[in-house]
Homo-oligomer: A and B are copies of this chain.
Amino acid sequence: MIMKPIIITKASGEKESFSPRKLSKSLKKTGANINLVEEIVKGVQKKHRLNKTKDIYNYAFSRLKKSGPPFAARYSLKRAIMQLGPTGYPFEKFIGEVLKYQGYYIKTNQIIQGSCVKHEIDVTSQKGNKHYMVECKFHNQPGKKSDVKVILYIKARFNDVKQRWLKNQIDKKKTLQALIVTNTKFTSDAIRYANCAGVNIISWSYPKDNGLGETIEKLNLHPITALTSLSKSQKEFLIRKGVVLCRDIKKRIHLLKQLKLNNKKIDKILEESQLISRF
């Protein structure tokens, strides 16, 4: 039987044909078994009303959730990052933690004097002689892209900071670079300018194989917003207290007690965190 191609609309408004291979790949990554994965893919193909990325996502998420919360939580990673909003601050904190787990010494929310003016820098990070000025661009709408103006102003800001940094730097082996991290995408013009002007950029799926999504999965650094066993306000409380990663909850159990959760509930939260982060 020849099936008509299903055309789906992405969050950005772009259209593309539905790819069973792509859906199957992202479902397998959650750890769900192959039978369930195939069942979900077939389900999408049968339901012709699923013509938006969002609808397909919701359908797959609810099927995974029935089968076991950690599969659903892992599948919803992109959405969990978005739930760190509405402000950009928890995302900055999250990026700081991701860098920390990669061996960087980090500071968040710094005010740094440049050659001309002072700048608010989201994160500064350092490993050995490598120093980075990190800017986080958080969007709480999928499909929203950071354009070339963003890279341009951060490049000029970086130049201002670097000019003063070089003056004060005696050790010539030390280097300072700019890094911009976003949870969505960059426009093609932004990527072209960044590569040409020497600005490091990371988006959800750029650079290939080392985008933010894959880095989180590889290192098991899922945000606590991925948990289904905590309410929105409970997650907000933990983020305010500096806990943004599932794997860090176990070190801060006293905070769960402050939320007046009983031991059974706490065990459930810890179990889900452990299953998501595989720690």
Contacts and interface: CB of A to CB of B under 8 A. Distances in A.
B117 A192 contact: yes
Nearest to A148: B117
A196 interface: yes
Interface residues of A, number: 19
Interface stretch (A18-26, A155-163, A256-264, A267-275): A155-163
Copies of this subunit: 2
Interface string A234-251: 000000000000000000
A199 to B, nearest CB: 10
Contacts of A197: 116, 156, 160
A25 B70 CA distance: 72
A152 interface: yes
Contacts of A189: 117-118
Q: Is the interface of A mostly helix, strand, loop or mixed?
A: helix
A149 B151 CA distance: 11
A196 B117 contact: yes
A115 interface: yes
A140 to B, nearest CB: 20
25 contacts: A115-B196, A116-B192, A116-B193, A116-B196, A116-B197, A117-B148, A117-B189, A117-B192, A117-B193, A117-B196, A118-B189, A149-B153, A152-B152, A152-B153, A152-B154, A152-B157, A152-B160, A153-B153, A153-B156, A155-B156, A156-B156, A156-B159, A156-B197, A160-B193, A160-B197
